[in-house]
Structure 1
């Protein structure tokens, strides 16, 4: 591993290029260029070759923080894939700086890569110092922002996984070769008897799968599909489809033997690779690792789920909803993807409660909650907001899509068979929905909730059992 101290390179020709590249990342945007250059001069330029380890799990040497300049780094812990760094300015190692125990992760170069390494002493302030240097404060700001974003990403990933034990894990196998599908299916069947397998005979068939279909692992061979004009078009379509499922992706293909192809797959969201031809042991070993990681994560999430769940409805409680909303707002500047909020209220619920009693009222709330839970996309969050009010949070969802989802929910409630619904004032038990989208309808969480609530109120005034969007409020005001 070759290291070049940047401090000795006062006029380093690449120093300014490094600064420009990483300044585009969120952690560095607010740091003045002159201060950023000073910070970079405290680092060492590290050149890594493919498969070379930058950090070893269990290492007890003083920790360093690393900033990626070029290439791709894979982060693993106990053999389990954790994350990937592939954009200039991505940061890793900050948690070890804050908690300098033995390293709990391994960082490996997936391709030839370059990083800037910041030694441990950069993050230390002597007790006798009367003031804290600006560079130290800048590093502290980077660490805090990175941890905040990492925590927000973890909340969204956790929500994308199915909760509870009722549904067995579901695995997709995407391969044009029926013999290869049979081999993978047979290996899975001996390793993971409780799982369900869905096979696709082509990438196109998988891409056309409805988003409601939920997978816990996708195994695919991205070989060229004649339904697409070229390789790039196929990879873009596959990447978009894979992203909807929010689950690990494992590529098993002759295509994986080429480094540039693996890099393309990594950018598409593939977490692990196996080139063909492969040994039976290698396939079993990879699939066993996925199984262990799945159940380890499942156990952790079940404990967290119990603390974050409303007992009556089995939906997320208010605390979890607030945390999820904050995570969406935190990630927006980086991802630039709008998200939407739907708020709904059971129409004339007080009449139902007063007429049939609170126990039957609880039956209604549980029925509405079940509709919300089964109707939203994977990765969405349905929560009990309070009383007879519910909220649905829709990541990566613009206004038109959110309105369609709300209308689908409204119809589902209207069509649900609920005891004594015919005794309601309208002759049926219904719900009204308000929809608002961030950042178009609000610039913060409080305003987003307020706008959605205003839509709900207008829907009640308009006669109930309707969907009102924030743009409809604007039109009415005009």
Structure 2
């Protein structure tokens, strides 16, 4: 994979060294020699990952990180602090400023490449969801930053898998103030419980006495319902190889023993906050996909969905020699309804007609609003004579009882005309079937409305 990486360091030698290592792995690299220059670069060219030196003159790395994380445009860019400092206080200070990870100088090349790849992958996936869910104008950064959406990363639901009592109790004690912690000692139970537990984070020890923690991580990454669940692993200081294997399989974060309770809380907050953001994006994506195929007024499928799905149904029916019919429906004198009662009343009529359609067709039938007062129902495994009977049933359900419209609950008598056509000829196409249904509908209108006409060659 490739991604854009911004390296920020006031030492030219460090910049060149890190740049050479990343370019060799086909990353696209930008550099800045101070914090102000880095912030300026981010104004016009957003990177995917930022490697940020801590000790710089003027604005140090902590302050640069705080500013990046307080800006809605840059707050979700992963920041890796690169520092010669190795005290717990400095690490905690960086995490509280919003840093996602740390690398200690001199930087190990394997650690550098593995962590940058892992963070870049997460960032690119998030970006893809964001772009697919909505444009910037549709969603708005203010919506993304809504307190209920992102929050502080507290009140998370955490699953801890640790079979040694003392370390488990210590971590539970550190997290229980801000989180709901479920502790399991058995990886089999964790594998069964994680998909249905509505967890925000999984913490797994790699030093389980009776199981392989990495295998649990791998198994959960292969299950659809836990594929996006953040995972943090707990490792010993000398477990670099297993750590890198974990990061490579998609583990989100890690903490090294002996576990600092302050660091643990900070890392958990970061993961829970990110989980809620990605959940929000995923929800927006589902809504956007739904909006793309549903008519907002009637909640029936729209013309766009019909165009693609009718082709699929047609091809299946043609290939298997099965029947397929189409029913085209048009509300009679709809303009008069709008002119007499108002457009709001017209909308009420369309919504009620959609409800009556849904009540009188099968689950496998496809009801769509083509636009205006025109609807179509696609009837798989239905021959023209049966489709005519369906049309009659629909026509009667529309005409049988007045439609109640407007704030004053005014009853309006509504009727509809319908045209039926079917897959009948070797050279048929979806468009030809719809055209024949439209011709039949025209005949129904011409012959007095409130009737069903089947196409006859």
Judge same fold: TM > 0.5, yes or no: no
Compute the TM-score of the two structures, normalised by the length of structure 2.
0.36
Compute the TM-score of the two structures, normalised by the length of structure 1.
0.35
Q: Which has the larger radius of gyration?
A: 2
